[in-house]
Amino acid sequence: MAFTWILFISTVISHICKGNAAFSYVECKTENVGQYGQESLLECIVKTRRTTDLKMRTVAWKKDGLLEPLLVFHRGRITKALPGYSFADPSWTDTNRNVSLLISNTAVQHQGGYSCDVTTNIGGEEEPSRTSLDVSAKYTVPTIISHPETIAQNTDGTLVCTSDGGYPTGELRWFDEKDEWIKRETKVTETKSGLFNLSSTLTSKQGFKSSKYSCAVFNASGGLQDKVQLNLPNLNGRPEEQGTGERSDSVSRVVAPMVVIGSLIVGLLMLLVYYRRRSLRRRRGAHHEVAVEETDHHDEDRVAEEAEQIA
Ligand SMILES: *[C@@H]1O[C@H](CO)[C@@H](O)[C@H](O)[C@H]1NC(C)=O
Ligand SMILES: *[C@@H]1O[C@H](CO)[C@@H](O)[C@H](O)[C@H]1NC(C)=O
C-alpha cells in the first residue's frame, strides 16, 4: 500500500516538474529567406500557457558552426552583439516576447542553421529552439556577346551568354527561333562574396542556322528570371540585341531628329527661292519686262544652284 502511494506521489511530482520546464517555450518560423545585401529577419516568439507576466532572464542567439554567440541578453542587459546582429525591435526590453534576430546586411555566409536559447522568470526549455536562413540573390539580365563582333546567319562564330551575381546556383539556357532548347553547359564561377557568375557558349558547327538566338537565366528552383534575344541578319548586317529594345530605341532617337532637320532645311530653301523671286519682280518695274524675264530665269537658275550646293 505504502509503496503504491510513493509511486503515485513521485509520478505527480515528476509531472509537475516537466510541466514547469515547459511553462515558457520559444516558437520560431522554421524557414526564413533573406535577400543578399538586405535585412533578414529570423522570427522567434516566446510563448507561455500561463497568463503571468513574462520576463526574459537570458536570450542567446547562436549560429551553427560558430563558437561565439551572435547576440546575448543576460541579467538585464545586452552583454554581447556581434556587428550586424541585433534584436529585430530596436527598443527591445526584457518584457518583449518578440526575440527575433535581425541581420542588417545579408551575405552568403549568413545562410545556415541558428538556435535561440531563452530562459524566463518561469523557466525555459532544455533544448534551444532552432530556425534557419536561406539566402537568395537575383542574377543580372543576361547579355550575349558574339565572336566575331558582327555575325550573320549561315556564318561561323561563337555566342557567349553571361549573367552575374546570383545565389544559389542558377542555369543559362539557349533557345533558337522556334524557341527550342539548345542544350549547352553552364559554367559556374564563384565570386569572392560567394555569389555565382554564369556563362554559356554556343558555337556554330556549319554556320548559325536560326535567324535569332535567345539566352535565358533560370534560378535555383528552375524559375525563369530573364531572357534576351540576339537577331542574326541574313546579309552582312550588324547583330541587334533585343529584349530591352534599347538599341532600336536609340536608332529612332537618332533618325527622328534627322528627318525633322532635313525637312526644315528643304522648307527654308523653298521659302528663300520664293522670296527672292518675289522681291526681284517687285524691284523691277514693268518697263523692263523682257529684260526682267531674262534675268529672272538667270536668277532662278542661280538660286537653284545655291540650293543644291547647300543641300
Ligand atoms: C517581431 O518584431 C519584428 C520587428 O519589429 C516584426 O517585423 C515582426 O513582425 C514581429 N513578429 C511578430 C510575430 O510579432
Ligand atoms: C525563382 O523564380 C520563381 C519565378 O520567378 C520565383 O517564384 C522563386 O521565388 C524564385 N526562387 C528563388 C530561390 O529565387
The full set of domains in the chain, from first to last, is: 20-136 (2.60.40.10), 143-238 (2.60.40.10)
For residue 27, the model assigns a pLDDT of 95
pTM value is 0.67
Residue reference for cell 527672292: 276
**Does residue 136 contact residue 168 with C-beta atoms inside 8 Å?**
yes
Which protein residues are within 6 Å of ligand 2, measured from CB? 136, 219-221, 223
**Does residue 154 contact residue 235 with C-beta atoms inside 8 Å?**
no
**Ligand 1 neighbour 88 (Cβ under 6 A):** yes
- Expressed in angstroms, the distance from the first to the final Cα of the chain is 124
Q: How far is the CA of 224 from the centre of ligand 2 (A)?
A: 8
The residue whose CA is least distant from atom 14 of ligand 1 is 98
Q: What distance in Å separates the CA atoms of residue 173 and residue 227, rounded to the nearest whole number?
A: 9
> Residue 114: beta bridge partners?
63, 131
The residue whose CA is least distant from atom 5 of ligand 2 is 223
User: For the purposes of burial, counting CB atoms within 10 Å of the CB of 42, is it exposed (0-12), middle (13-18) or buried (19 or more)?
Assistant: buried
For residue 282, the model assigns a pLDDT of 63
Ligand 1: which of 26, 38, 89, 92 to mutate, most ligand atoms within 8 Å of CB? 89
Question: Which atom of ligand 2 is closest in space to residue 134's alpha carbon?
Answer: 13
Q: How far is the CA of 223 from the centre of ligand 2 (A)?
A: 5
Q: How far is the CA of 88 from the centre of ligand 1 (A)?
A: 7
Give the 3-state secondary structure of residue 306.
helix
Strand order through the sheet with 85-87: 40-42, 101-103, 85-87
Digits of tens for pLDDT over the chain (311 positions)?
Answer: 555 554 444 544 444 444 444 588 999 999 999 999 999 999 999 998 887 789 999 999 999 999 999 999 999 999 999 999 999 999 999 999 999 999 999 999 999 999 999 999 988 888 899 999 999 999 999 999 999 988 888 889 999 999 999 999 999 999 999 999 999 999 999 999 999 999 999 998 888 999 999 999 999 999 999 999 999 988 654 444 444 433 434 444 445 555 555 566 666 667 676 667 766 666 554 444 444 444 444 554 555 555 555 54
User: For the purposes of burial, counting CB atoms within 10 Å of the CB of 9, is it exposed (0-12), middle (13-18) or buried (19 or more)?
Assistant: exposed
Q: What is the 3-state secondary structure (H, E, C) of 235-263?
A: CCCCCEEECCCHHHHHHHHHHHHHHHHHH
**Does residue 65 contact residue 114 with C-beta atoms inside 8 Å?**
no
Tell which residue, 199, 200, 202, 187, has the closest CA to residue 156. Answer: 202
33 Cβ contact partners less than 8 Å away, ≥ 6 residues apart: 40, 133, 134, 135, 136
**Ligand 1 neighbour 29 (Cβ under 6 A):** no
For residue 49, the model assigns a pLDDT of 85
For residue 270, the model assigns a pLDDT of 73
For residue 293, the model assigns a pLDDT of 43
For residue 292, the model assigns a pLDDT of 40
Q: What is the pLDDT of residues 100-114, one digit of tens each?
A: 999 999 999 999 999
Question: Which atom of ligand 2 is closest in space to residue 222's alpha carbon?
Answer: 1
